[in-house]
Amino acid sequence: MVTVVGVSRPRTSGSFVTKSGKKAYRGNRKHWYVYFYDDDGRFRKKQISPLQVPYYGSLIRRRKTYLCPKCGAKFRSMQDSCPKCGARAVKVEKRP
């Protein structure tokens, strides 16, 4: 199973420093890329067409915070299995 992390256009070369001290980039960002983890757990990137951007954008997985009831560990991951003991963890809701 492929885990999609993000979809974006990388910055092109030709950067320069503005008067305010910030970095600015010249040039067009021509190609879209999808960033993902493959089945072996390696981080990869693949060039995609502009028509595929909404599709891959809907597949983006975000890391969530979990709490393991067995060992009491709190961790952030995309999966709900505890990295220490392997038990199923409970998702921690963010408070406003």
Residues 67, 39 within the same domain: no
| Least confident piece of the model among 25-34, 42-51, 86-95 | 25-34
Residues 43 and 5 in one domain: yes
* C-alpha to C-alpha distance for 54 and 62, rounded to whole angstroms: 16
Q: Which of these, 64, 63, 43, 60, lies nearest to 8 by C-alpha position?
A: 60
Q: Model pTM greater than 0.85? A: no
Structurally, the chain folds into a number of domains equal to 2
Residue range(s) defining the domain that contains residue 40 = 1-10+29-61
User: Contact, 52 vs 25, CB < 8 A?
Assistant: no
- The verdict on 82 and 71 lying in the same domain is yes
Q: What is the mean pLDDT of residues 45-64?
A: 87
Answer yes or no: do 6 and 37 share one domain. Answer: yes
pLDDT interval class at 4 (50, 70, 90): confident
∠ Cα 53 59 61 (to 5°): 125
- Please check the confidence at residue 44 and state whether its pLDDT lies above 80: yes
